[in-house]
Every structure is written in C-alpha cells, then in structure tokens.
Amino acid sequence: MRTIVCILHLISCCAFADTQTDIEYARVGDHSLKLDLHTPKASHAPLLVYVHGGAWRAGSKSDVPISKLLDHGFAIASVDYRLSTQAMFPAQIHDIKAVIRFLRAKSELYHLNTSRIGIIGSSAGGHLAALVGVTNGHKELEGNVGESLSQSSDVQCIVSLYGASNLQTILMQSAEFGLKMRVPALQLLLGGQPTEKPDLARLGSPVAHLDNNDPPLLLIHGDADPQMPPAQSQEFTKAYEATKLPVQFILMPGSKHGGAEFYDDERTAIIAKFLDKALR
C-alpha cells in the first residue's frame, strides 16, 4: 500500500511540475555554475531559491527535499555554488546572489514571478541562505559574478533548516561530535579557524548583519542535533527579536540533523504558510 501511495505521489508531482536541469547562470573562469528549475503548472509562480547543504564542501542541486512546496504553487530554483574545496568564502555568497540576479533578469523567459523571492537552505545551505537574506545590497558580499549585475539580489523572506547563524560562536556551542565536523569544515571555508580569521568569521555570520530592513525569518531546528548546535538558531532568534524583526522559531523535540520529519506534510504546511504571507 505504501508503495502505491509513493507512486501516486510521484505521478501527481510530474503532472503539476516541469523541470529544466543544468541551466547555466554564470561562469567563473572555466567553472560553469548551474541551477535546476522546478516549476508548478501555474505560470508566473512565486520563486524560491533552494541552497543545499553538505558542510559547505559537498552536496548537489539534485537533492531537493523541499519539492513538496511545488504542490503549494511555488517554483523552486535549486542551485549549485562553488564549494569550499573549490573556493573559499565569500565565493559561495557571490554565486547565490548571482543566481537571484540571473533569475530576475530571465523571469519572463522562465515564466516566474520574481518581484518577491524567498530563499531556503538546509544545514550549511541554511547558513548561506540566511546570510544572503540579511545582506541585501552588502557591497563586499554582493560580488560581481554573472552578467546581470544591474538586477537586485534582494530576497523577501528566509527559511533556514538547522543552519548556522554565527561562525564566531559555533565551536564553543558544539559538542565533541560536532567539533569533529565543524573544525575541518570551517578550515576549508575560511582558510583557518574563526579565531584565526575573526574578520572573515564575522563577515560570514548572519547575526552580525541585522538591521531594520531585514526580511521575515523562519528557523526549524532539532533540539538533539549533534552536528549543528540548536543554540545557533536560538541565538539568531534572539538577535531578530532584539532588532524587532519578524521571526518564527520551531524547535523539534528529539530531532537530529536533518531527516524526513523536517520535510513532511506538517512542516511543509508551516513553511508554505510562512511563504504565502511573505511572498503572495
């Protein structure tokens, strides 16, 4: 019975969505940067930019765990960006902002509504999504990747699923298992540890960039996460509240780092409601 239900769900998704893969949005030297675009049946759907995780050094645009949001009428651009094994921070942010500019420039070609864009990320992708979201117009993080530099890279809401928010505090908040993951990951991302690269660590910390113009934020984190300290989302929530910005924080009892429960119907409905309010 479960197999039949899964097959019917896949058929339903195929009936209501179209996918275009490997769309090149920019080139950096010989490196081609690409995205996959998943669109619902309705034309000019609100756009979500999805940023995959993988400790900043792995992962792929082919992994789209938020695909159920297609059923709620959102288009999803799942993006690849230069990993930390290919380029150090802030190259990743430059690439993601280039995606947003590209999609705004090509909105008519791909039949998208890009007047208001949401950004979503998981794990390391949650950190990158949050940083893009709270640095609208930040000169140092804007970069010059791509050919659509006259377009805005602003986003109008952020969803971070078990992502980092402060590279300056993440190690002191981490348990032993988390340190085994974060220390080498940060070494690749920053070219050193946060104490060795304090300016870069601050530049890469969403909590360090907040102002009154930042967009609404939704955070979802497991309280038993052994890899990304839940304190990162708690810290981000408090910083948003202190700045009197709209924020919603969902702490999931017993949940660890990722898993199907973060993308089930209940969580998808919560995310869709948040996106509806911010984008429609």
User: pLDDT by residue (tens digit) across 29-87?
Assistant: 999 999 999 999 888 999 999 999 999 999 999 999 999 999 999 999 999 999 999 99
Predicted pLDDT at 43:
84
Query: What is the pTM (predicted TM-score) of this model?
Result: 0.93
| Residue 257 DSSP class | S
- What is the spatial distance between Cα 269 and Cα 264, in angstroms, rounded to a whole number? 9
| Pairing verdict, β 45-51 and 112-122 | parallel
Going from the C-alpha of 8 to that of each of 70, 116, 266, the distances in angstroms are: 15, 32, 19
pLDDT of 96 higher than 50: yes
Q: In angstroms, how far is CA 139 from the centroid of its own chain?
A: 20
Domain count of the fold of the chain: 1
- What is the spatial distance between Cα 99 and Cα 109, in angstroms, rounded to a whole number? 15
Going from the C-alpha of 136 to that of each of 13, 82, 161, 186, 203, the distances in angstroms are: 33, 20, 20, 24, 14
Predicted pLDDT at 7:
37
Which helix (H) or strand (E) is 96 found in, with range?
helix 91-105
Give the other-Cβ count within 10 Å of 124's Cβ. Answer: 26
Q: Where are the beta strands (DSSP E) in the chain?
A: 17-28, 31-40, 45-51, 75-79, 112-122, 157-161, 217-222, 247-252
What value does the mean pLDDT of the chain take?
93
CATH number of the domain encompassing residue 38: 3.40.50.1820
Give the other-Cβ count within 10 Å of 199's Cβ. Answer: 8
Average pLDDT (158-183) is 96
Short-list 46, 70, 89, CA closest to 201: 89
Going from the C-alpha of 237 to that of each of 43, 160, 263, the distances in angstroms are: 35, 11, 21
Q: pLDDT confidence of 242, banded at 50, 70, 90?
A: very high
Q: Interhelix angle for 91-105 vs 124-133, to 10°?
A: 60
Counting Cα atoms < 13 Å in the Cβ hemisphere of 144 gives 1
14-18, 177-181, 189-193 — most confident range = 189-193
Going from the C-alpha of 218 to that of each of 17, 45, 85, 88, 109, the distances in angstroms are: 25, 21, 29, 27, 30
Predicted pLDDT at 161:
98
- Tell whether omega for the bond before 90 is within 30 degrees of 0, i.e. cis: yes
Predicted pLDDT at 41:
87
Q: In angstroms, how far is CA 26 from the centroid of its own chain?
A: 19
Predicted pLDDT at 42:
83
Q: What angle do CA 228, 209, 52 make, to 5 degrees?
A: 40
Predicted pLDDT at 280:
86
For residues 228-253, one letter each, b for 16 or more C-beta atoms within 10 angstroms of the residue's C-beta and e for the rest, the string is bbbbbbbbbbebbeeeebebbbbebe
> Which structural domain range is residue 44 located in?
2-279
Average pLDDT (190-196) is 98
% of the chain exceeding 70 in pLDDT: 94
Predicted pLDDT at 3:
39
| Pairing verdict, β 45-51 and 31-40 | unpaired
Predicted pLDDT at 192:
97
Looking at the DSSP assignment, which residues form a beta bridge with residue 37?
Answer: 20, 77
